[in-house]
Amino acid sequence: MKAILGFEDGDFVVGEGFGAEGIFAGELVFSTQMTGYMEALTDPSYHGQLLMFTYPLIGNYGVDVANFQSSRVWARGCVVREVCSVPAAQPTLRHFFEEQRLPGMSGVDTRRLTIKIREKGTIRAALIVGDSTLEEAITCARSIPSISDQELIPDVSCPAPYRIEGKGKRIAVIDLGIKRNMLVSLKIRDADIFVFPHNATYHQIAACEPQGLLISNGPGDPVRATDAIRTVHEFIGTIPIFGICMGNQITALALGGETYKMKFGHRGTNQPVRYRDGSIFITTQNHGFAVDGDTLPEGCCVSYTNANDRTVEGFENPDLDISCVQFHPEAHGGPRDTENHYFDMLFGRIG
């Protein structure tokens, strides 16, 4: 099948389509990871985006359902240089996309598109699989709203509270689109986990008498998560608070800080992060927004910074018992430098 990827600036590329026919539009972003492509595609944080992989061959070990980060693929489309036709395990990525009616595009110069995004910033795009015109793809790309104007979190958050029983510390989780491995990291430490929807109130969460509050990752602009920001604000100073990815941004906003949209964000499994003691961790990341460290209130200190661009990768407020990170310590596949580092610290701070 023919596939066209049109951009809001009037540019386009033509390639081979696989999976579902149709029109699929979103913000085009790239990830530098070489493995863990299914973990990325099923990450709810990619909701609203077309995901392009910079590594030239995707699908070489098939589709590993056991490592899905949610029950489905959330990326609105997948763009690759080449899809592996004879993987080490079945099913193939192409077969999976066909079976699940997902849109994909191959046979394009992903290096050129990556350079384009790094020079011009994240761009709106439309992927059309099947017969179409270049003009239609470009028009569609220009018509979709900005990621900051979309309500994405309600789609990926759990519809109702649920519990994963454990004999250890009682952790409340605000689900903004949580990845399964976050829950796995809590469960292997025997936590008693209470998961709540994005719009849960302070009183609903407090009723489970949590010993700690974790705010998860999620898609879109964090300022749109008004319910979660309000709830976290009410918990500040009452119990330890921890945030991962969007949870880092939500906590900063709840404290009165500010966030901003990055030019092209951090997505991949090779982002170097410098901890406050000077040590370096290699981390997995997926975010297009960041905390403005200069707006954090008195008592907060930036504890992690990105070694490449010096953006905030985490902050702490010891007096309020808050510790948040922008990267994903739970991420597999990817480096495991920070899972024990962060989650053991989390549990150590909960009385």
Q: Which residues are catalytic?
A: 245, 328, 330
Element (H, E) at 271: strand 258-275
How would you classify the pairing of strands 49-53 and 77-79?
parallel
Token look-up 């899809």 returns 83
Backbone angles phi, psi at 34, to 5 degrees: -100, -25
Q: CB–CB of 86/114 below 8 Å?
A: no
Residue 32 is which amino acid?
T
DSSP 328: B
C-alpha distances out from residue 7 to 104, 128, 208, 264, Å: 16, 11, 48, 15
Residue reference for tokens 């900063």: 252
* CA 103 – CA 37 distance, rounded (Å): 15
Please choose, from the candidates 22, 4, 24, 21, the residue with its C-alpha nearest in 3D space to the C-alpha of residue 13.
4
Closest CA to 223 of 157, 152, 293: 152
CA distance 225 to 222: 6
**Strand residues in 8-80 grouped as ranges (E):** 12-19, 22-31, 49-53, 57-58, 77-79
Radius of gyration of the chain (CA): 20
Residue 6 preceded by cis peptide, ω within 30 = no
The rounded distance, in Å, linking the Cα atoms of 253 and 236 is: 12
In the three-class reduction of DSSP (H, G, I as helix; E, B as strand; rest coil), residue 92 is classed as coil
